């Protein structure tokens, strides 16, 4: 040991600052919970959260405007490249919007530890308690989401996966009303999520056994040099894929999605449905394109199957749903399937970058529409809380024409009708898939889009052409935050549908250099 | 020589996975998940020995920390639902379906 000097690792603090800001604010949030008096907490946490997300967004834009780096940051552990920066931008904007929604009162339980229906709970509600831990939990989850798609080795990716998921498991169980559903969603999400991350970890162990490293670049290099270890490689890739496909909710790992989306507080569902999908697709792309890019002939048939199954399961099962949040969950599964067709569209570098740019645009478009749709769901209420059952939405167009109109617009965007953002997203992804030689997949995609359009239109018909029930739900007077969320999401859906060029160009630029290796 | 450890790790992982799928008590299901994580650790350490580098041993420490964090969150959630329902059976919690 004598004579050897330990060189300190170089850390690019400027590039990593979005994450550092979010994690720093989350830790400050925990300290606020510990030391600030109860009546002050919300008025400290809320601005802290919004400022942190805003600050992280500004530093992301600054990092992007300084030109895209060509090597991975933090000694090769975190790859802050074009796609990462674009994904960070989307996640931070969507998280900011969802934070406005979360900030709305009456969504979260007064005291999570109090048993539902007990005297404790009544007392907590009467004293106006609020579980302000929601804000730091949100920030920790967002920090994990930023790290997840940017991680350049599997260990960082696993830690990011857990940092992202663990706070979400808790957030799911904190609904103020229908607490049994919420707690059940939390348990289900937790057990299945932990199960799937164990698969991810075992896959990672096998790939480490194969390549002798968990670095994505080293795994990619080992594909060409290691021979006779194919069992380790293929089983490892399959198990890793299970963990990643679970997070995006692809069939056959989609079972948690409807339950969790229905049971979780709607503001948390909005966050999960938009940002987690974005982050998980970033990570999925990075693993399969960077580490396993040279293996695409082997994983592509499997992905074909998963994509077809996901699109069909999502679209067909959505038809039978009677709960609005469950229906949106199945719609989210179908959308994950559409996005997977883009993941398969690999080929030349040019094809790859157009597929990547299509996926990035799709994620941005879908994320905004989803947050908006769930924000509308929070506003349609009856005595027991949100009116989730579809029959309660009958005739909403007559009671609240503006709200129902906006919701119908979001549904049309999900269906991919021209002049909405969903159209360009789908068009771009399907074009990339055709370019990548996946024509049959696109045919399945178009057919399942048509099936999906049926149940979106069914809700629109229900809202506008049915008579409202006498004891129908009331429309809660929206808080400033909720109306801002709906307005922003609607504006984004219109702008991305009518005038998508700036964002398409941005996605093209982000995708042009592909992932750094 | 390391093959035996890998076989053991695969067995532990399989026992854990089968346990998750068949057991009904949330705590036991969760313990099975932890068993799967420890099977991963064994695989990591074995492969580290096989490759002669320390990455695998290092990863095992990370996994332990993550598993500890998961225990904290998991037990909080399971205790919460147990206090509400007076049961930790995953079959009882079945309000969300179809």
Tens-level pLDDT at each residue, chain B (98 residues): 789 999 999 999 999 999 999 999 999 999 999 999 999 999 999 999 999 999 999 999 999 999 999 999 999 999 999 999 888 888 877 787 76
Predicted local confidence at residue A83, as pLDDT: 93
Indicate the residue of A166, A184, A212 with minimum beta-carbon distance to B93: A184
Asked if residue A230 is part of any domain, the answer here is no
**Pick from A354, A224, A245: which is nearest to A293 by CA?**
A224
From A203, which residue of chain B is nearest by alpha-carbon distance?
B40
Indicate the residue of B39, B56, B98 with minimum beta-carbon distance to A202: B39
In angstroms, the separation between the Cα of residue B92 and the nearest Cα of chain A is: 10
What SS3 class is residue A464?
A: helix
Q: Are A379 and A403 within 8 A, CB to CB? A: yes
Residues sharing a CB contact under 8 Å with residue A39, sequence separation 6 or more, in sequence order? none
**Residues 261..280 of A with a Cβ closer than 8 Å to B: which?**
262-263
Q: What is the pLDDT of residues A404-435, one digit of tens each?
A: 999 999 999 999 988 889 999 999 999 999 98
Asked if residue A333 is part of any domain, the answer here is yes
Indicate the residue of B44, B77, B97 with minimum beta-carbon distance to A208: B44
Kindly report the length of chain A.
517
Judged by a CB distance cut-off of 8 A, whether residue B98 touches chain A is: yes
- Residue A347 belongs to what domain range? 294-511
Backbone angles phi and psi of A250, in degrees to 5: -85, 145
Q: Count CA atoms closer than 13 A to A30's CA, side-chain side.
A: 9
**Pick from A311, A517, A351: which is nearest to A435 by CA?**
A351
In angstroms, the separation between the Cα of residue A487 and the nearest Cα of chain B is: 31
In angstroms, the separation between the Cα of residue B59 and the nearest Cα of chain A is: 7
Indicate the residue of B39, B62, B73 with minimum beta-carbon distance to A190: B73
Predicted local confidence at residue A391, as pLDDT: 85
Q: Do A201 and B69 touch (CB under 8 A)?
A: no
> Could you tell me the two tokens for A256?
């948690």
Predicted confidence band at A307 (pLDDT cuts at 50, 70, 90)? very high
Asked if residue A149 is part of any domain, the answer here is no
DSSP string computed for A219-270: HHHHHHH--S-HHHHHHHHHHHHHHHHHHHT-TTS-THHHHHHHHS-HHHHH
Q: Which of A191, A203, A239, A388 to mutate to test the interface with B (most CBs of B within 10 A)?
A: A191
Q: What is the pLDDT of residues A98-134, one digit of tens each?
A: 999 988 767 888 888 888 888 888 888 888 788 889 9
Q: What is the pLDDT of residues A337-387, one digit of tens each?
A: 999 999 998 878 888 899 999 999 999 999 999 999 999 999 888 777 788
Rounded distance, CA A209 to CA A202, Å?
10
Rounded distance, CA B7 to CA A4, Å?
39
Q: Do A187 and B93 touch (CB under 8 A)?
A: yes
Strands across the sheet with A474-475, in order? A385-386, A380-382, A474-475
Element at A380 (helix H, strand E): strand A380-382
Asked if residue A433 is part of any domain, the answer here is yes
Residues sharing a CB contact under 8 Å with residue B11, sequence separation 6 or more, in sequence order? B39
Indicate the residue of B9, B74, B96 with minimum beta-carbon distance to A181: B96
Q: Do B84 and A208 touch (CB under 8 A)?
A: no
Rounded distance, CA A244 to CA A462, Å?
36
Predicted local confidence at residue A2, as pLDDT: 60
Asked if residue A436 is part of any domain, the answer here is yes
Judged by a CB distance cut-off of 8 A, whether residue A184 touches chain B is: yes
**Pick from A434, A412, A428, A407: which is nearest to A503 by CA?**
A428
Predicted local confidence at residue A55, as pLDDT: 97
Q: Do B29 and A191 touch (CB under 8 A)?
A: yes
How many CB atoms neighbour CB A11 within 10 A? 14
Rounded distance, CA A183 to CA A112, Å?
10
Rounded distance, CA A208 to CA A495, Å?
45
In angstroms, the separation between the Cα of residue A501 and the nearest Cα of chain B is: 40
B30 interaction partners in chain A (CB closer than 8 Å)? 191, 194
Rounded distance, CA A221 to CA A477, Å?
58
Q: What is the pLDDT of residues A452-488, one digit of tens each?
A: 999 899 999 999 998 887 777 777 777 888 899 999 9
- Number of structural domains (chain A) is 1
Say whether pTM exceeds 0.90: yes
ipTM of the complex: 0.97
B57-72 burial string, b = 16+ CB within 10 Å, else e?
A: eebbebbeebbeebee
In angstroms, the separation between the Cα of residue A242 and the nearest Cα of chain B is: 13
Predicted local confidence at residue A182, as pLDDT: 92
Predicted confidence band at A3 (pLDDT cuts at 50, 70, 90)? low
Q: How much is the average pLDDT of A174-185?
A: 89
Asked if residue A16 is part of any domain, the answer here is no
Asked if residue A377 is part of any domain, the answer here is yes
Look at A306 and B88; give whichever has higher pLDDT: A306
Judged by a CB distance cut-off of 8 A, whether residue B44 touches chain A is: yes
Indicate the residue of B30, B43, B80 with minimum beta-carbon distance to A183: B80
CATH number of B3-85: 1.10.287.3510
> Could you tell me the two tokens for A224?
């060409």
In terms of Cβ atoms closer than 10 Å to its own Cβ (0-12, 13-18, 19+), residue A230 is: exposed
Rounded distance, CA A163 to CA A180, Å?
25
Predicted local confidence at residue A251, as pLDDT: 86
A465-486 burial string, b = 16+ CB within 10 Å, else e?
A: eeebeeebbebeebbebbeebb
pLDDT at A1 over 60: no
Q: Count CA atoms closer than 13 A to A323's CA, side-chain side.
A: 16
pLDDT at A442 over 90: yes
Q: What is the pLDDT of residues A290-303, one digit of tens each?
A: 999 888 889 999 99
A112 interaction partners in chain B (CB closer than 8 Å)? 80
DSSP letter (8 states) at residue A111: -
Residues sharing a CB contact under 8 Å with residue A413, sequence separation 6 or more, in sequence order? A365, A369, A420, A421, A422, A423, A493, A497
Rounded distance, CA B78 to CA B86, Å?
11
Average pLDDT score, chain A: 91
Q: Which of B96, B97, B98 to mutate to test the interface with A (most CBs of A within 10 A)?
A: B96
Q: Are A448 and A311 within 8 A, CB to CB? A: yes
DSSP letter (8 states) at residue A517: -
Q: Which of A190, A200, A243 to mutate to test the interface with B (most CBs of B within 10 A)?
A: A190
Indicate the residue of B17, B66, B93 with minimum beta-carbon distance to A159: B66
Asked if residue A414 is part of any domain, the answer here is yes
pLDDT at A275 over 90: yes
pLDDT at A259 over 80: yes
Q: Which of B17, B58, B80, B98 to mutate to test the interface with A (most CBs of A within 10 A)?
A: B80
């Amino acid at each position: 040991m004598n004579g050897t000097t330990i060189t300190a690792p170089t850390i690019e603090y400027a590039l990593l600052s979005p994450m550092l800001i979010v994690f720093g604010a989350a830790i400050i949030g925990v300290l606020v919970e510990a030391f600030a008096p109860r009546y002050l907490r919300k008025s400290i946490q809320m601005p802290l959260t919004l400022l942190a997300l805003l600050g992280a967004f500004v530093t992301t834009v600054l990092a992007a405007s300084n030109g895209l780096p060509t090597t991975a940051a933090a000694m090769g552990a975190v790859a802050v490249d074009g796609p990462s920066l674009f994904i960070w931008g989307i996640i931070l904007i969507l998280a900011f919007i969802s934070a406005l929604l979360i900030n709305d009162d009456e969504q979260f339980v007064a005291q999570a530890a109090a048993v539902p229906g007990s005297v404790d709970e009544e007392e907590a509600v009467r004293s106006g308690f609020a579980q302000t831990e929601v804000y730091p939990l949100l920030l920790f989850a967002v920090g994990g989401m930023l790290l997840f798609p940017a991680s350049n080795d599997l260990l960082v990716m696993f830690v990011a996966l857990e940092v992202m998921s663990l706070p979400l498991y808790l957030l799911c169980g904190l609904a103020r009303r229908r607490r049994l559903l919420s707690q059940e969603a939390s348990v289900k999400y937790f057990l299945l999520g932990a199960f799937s991350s164990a698969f991810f970890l075992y896959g990672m162990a096998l790939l480490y056994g194969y390549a002798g490293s968990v670095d994505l670049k080293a795994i990619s290099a080992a594909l060409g040099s290691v021979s006779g270890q194919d069992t380790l490689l293929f089983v490892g890739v399959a198990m890793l894929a299970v963990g990643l496909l679970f997070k995006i909710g692809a069939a056959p790992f989609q079972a948690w999605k409807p339950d969790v989306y229905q049971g979780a507080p709607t503001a948390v569902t909005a966050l999960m449905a938009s940002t987690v999908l974005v982050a998980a697709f970033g990570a999925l792309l990075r693993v399969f394109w960077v580490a396993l890019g040279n293996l695409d002939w082997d994983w592509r048939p499997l992905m074909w199957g998963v994509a077809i199954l996901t699109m069909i399961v999502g679209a067909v099962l959505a038809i039978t749903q009677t709960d609005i949040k469950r229906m949106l969950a199945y719609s989210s599964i179908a959308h994950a399937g559409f996005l997977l067709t883009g993941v398969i569209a690999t080929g030349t570098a040019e094809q790859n970058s157009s597929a990547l740019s299509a996926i990035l645009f799709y994620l941005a478009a879908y994320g905004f529409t989803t947050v908006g749709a769930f924000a509308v769901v929070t506003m349609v209420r009856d005595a027991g809380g949100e009116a989730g059952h579809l029959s309660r939405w009958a005739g909403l167009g007559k009671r609240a024409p503006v709200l129902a109109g906006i919701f119908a617009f979001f549904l049309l965007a999900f269906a991919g009708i021209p002049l909405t953002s969903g159209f360009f997203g789908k068009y771009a992804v399907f074009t990339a898939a055709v370019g990548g030689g996946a024509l049959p997949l696109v045919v399945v995609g178009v057919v399942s889009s048509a099936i999906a359009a049926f149940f979106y239109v069914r809700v629109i018909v229900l809202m506008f052409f049915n008579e409202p029930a006498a004891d129908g739900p009331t429309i809660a007077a929206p808080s400033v935050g909720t109306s801002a969320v709906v307005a922003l999401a609607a504006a984004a859906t219109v702008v991305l549908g009518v005038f998508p060029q700036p964002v398409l160009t941005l996605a093209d630029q982000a995708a042009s250099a592909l992932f750094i290796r | 020589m390391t093959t035996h450890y890998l076989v053991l790790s695969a067995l532990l992982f399989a026992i854990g996975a089968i346990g998750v799928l068949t057991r009904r008590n949330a705590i036991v299901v969760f313990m099975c998940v932890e068993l799967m994580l420890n099977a991963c650790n064994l695989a990591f350490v074995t492969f580290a020995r096989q490759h002669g580098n320390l990455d695998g041993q290092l990863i095992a420490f990370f996994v332990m920390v993550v598993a500890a964090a998961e225990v904290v969150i998991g037990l909080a959630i399971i205790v919460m639902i147990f206090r509400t329902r007076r049961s930790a059976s995953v079959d009882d919690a079945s309000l969300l379906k179809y």
